Amino acid sequence: MCLARALPLSALFVTLLSGCAKTQPTLAPPPPDPSTTQPTLAASITERVSELQARAAEYAAGAKNLPGRNQVEDRAATGKQFALLSQIIPLLAGPEMSGDLAQQLRIIDGTRTQLVNGSTELAIEPTTDAGLRAAQRALASLGTRSFAEVTEITKALDTMRIRTDDLDTASGPLHRLVAAQVIQASAEAISRMSANLGARVGEEKATPAAVTPAEAPQAP
C-alpha cells in the first residue's frame, strides 16, 4: 500500500497524544533528556494505534453482519456500530479535535443513544441517516487532513459518500440495505486508515534517530 506523507510523521502523531494543561512552576524545570523522552512518546503512539486497530477490526466484523434479518435485529446491530464509531473517531482525531469534528461526534453519539435506548415505535430512518451523514463528514475530514495521498482510502471515502447520498431515496427494507452499504464503506476506510497509521509507526521505530556528528578537531 502506498503510505501517505500528507503530514510529517511527528506532526501527524502529535495529535494522537493525550495530555492536559499543567500549572506553570515557580522555577523552570531542567530540559528533558532526549534519551528518556523519545521512548515515552513512541510508547504512547503505539498504544493508541493498537487500540484503534482493535476497534477498527471489531467495526469491520460488525459491518459484515448488516443488514440485520429484521428491523429489530438491524436496529440493535447498527446501534453497536455507532457505539464503535464514537470510539474510533476520537482515536483517529486525537485530543486536539476541531469544533466541526466534535459536532459530528455528538451527532453520532446521539444516534447511538436513540437506536439503543429510544422507543421501538418511532421510525429510526431519520435518526440513522443523520448519524451516517455525520460519520461520512467526519471521516472525509480526517481523510483530507491525514490521508489525502492514499488512493485506497480516498476511494473508500468516495464510495461512502455515494452510498450516503442514496439514503435520500431509500425507505423500508431498501433503506436498511443502503445504510449497511454506507457502514461497510466506512469500515473499509477505517480499516485502511488504521493500517496506514500502524505502518507509519513501524517505519518510525525502524528509522534510527539522527545523530549529530562531533565537531571535527581544528588543525594545529
Residue 172 lies in a domain: yes
Instruction: For 126-177, write each residue's pLDDT tens digit.
Output: 999 999 999 999 999 999 999 999 999 999 999 999 999 999 999 989 999 9
Residue 27 counted as domain residue: no
- pLDDT at position 128: 96
Residue 77 in any domain: the answer is: yes
Domain count, the chain: 1
Residue 25 domain-assigned (yes or no)? no
Residue-number span of the structural domain to which 152 is assigned: 48-205
Q: CB of 10 within 8 A of CB of 209?
A: no
H or E element in which residue 128 lies: helix 125-146
List pLDDT tens digits, range 53-104.
999 999 999 999 999 999 999 999 999 999 999 999 999 987 778 899 999 9
Nine-digit cell at 22? 499543567
Q: Could you tell me if residue 105 is inside a domain? A: yes
Residue 142 CA to its chain's centroid (Å): 7
So what's the pLDDT on residue 205?
67
Is residue 146, in this structure, part of any structural domain at all? yes
Q: Decide if 24 is inside a domain.
A: no
In angstroms, the CA 29 to CA 86 distance is 38
What pTM was estimated for this model as a whole? 0.74
Collapsed DSSP state (helix, strand, coil) of residue 208: coil
Examine residue 12 and state whether it is found in any structural domain, yes or no: no
